Amino acid sequence: METHDVPQQPARRNFIKKTCAVFVGAVTGLIPAISGLIVFLDPLRRKSQESDAVLVASLSSLPADGVPRKFSVIASHTDAWNRMPRVPVGAVYLRRIGDEQVQAFNVICPHAGCFVDYDLSKKSYHCPCHNSSFALDGRIADPKSPSPRGLDELDVDIRNGNEIWVKFQNFRAGDKEKIPA
């Protein structure tokens, strides 16, 4: 058997070779992976849609005794490549607190994002997921309630004497502060 000895090349030439190999390897290997990662992280640079005030209901449809009623919020919505002109984008509880004053709450529980129900007998809002409960005015009713804050109140505008316009917005769940989502 015969073996061939490979003459050792000078160290500096090996260094240039290795550097070139690492460079070429990095360029060729990393470009697909990095472009994939950038696409993967694309949702992070998407901003939530700013919504204008939406006509939700008429003042006359709310009972005068302040019992809340739930209404769907119908608005245009863009979901990736789909633009939908009039679809339900969420829901609100509206309650009359004066002749021409209305309070609006987002139905989403600030704890973990489930929809709360209104319990007529207890006169409070109740979340079926983790038993958060909220008083009529939206504050936390039970100290054991896991929600970090009360129901999220929304800006309301009464227009033309009878139209209830709500600036619908979702907020980040699980935070003490009301941060727009």
Task: Give residues in contact with another protein (CB under 8 A).
Answer: 1-4, 6, 17, 20-21, 24-25, 27-29, 31-33, 35-42, 45, 80-82
Tokens at 32, concatenated? 């697909």
Shortest reach from residue 81's CB to another protein, in Å: 4
Task: For another protein, give the closer residue by CB, 83 or 176.
Answer: 83
- Please choose, from the candidates 102, 79, 106, the residue with its C-alpha nearest in 3D space to the C-alpha of residue 92: 106
In angstroms, what is the minimal distance from the CB of 2 to another protein?
A: 8
Smallest gap from residue 80 Cβ to another protein (A): 6
Confirm if 86 and 61 have CB atoms less than 8 A apart.
Answer: no
For the CB of residue 76, give the shortest distance to another protein in the complex, in Å: 17
Is residue 158 within 8 Å of 109, Cβ to Cβ?
no
Give the residue carrying structure tokens 């997921």: 129
Cβ-based nearer residue to another protein, 39 or 179: 39
Token pair in block for residue 18:
């290795």
Nearer to another protein, 7 or 98 (CB): 7
Angstrom distance (rounded) from CA 139 to CA 148: 11
Closer residue to another protein in complex, CB, 85/98: 85
Rg (the chain; Cα; Å): 29
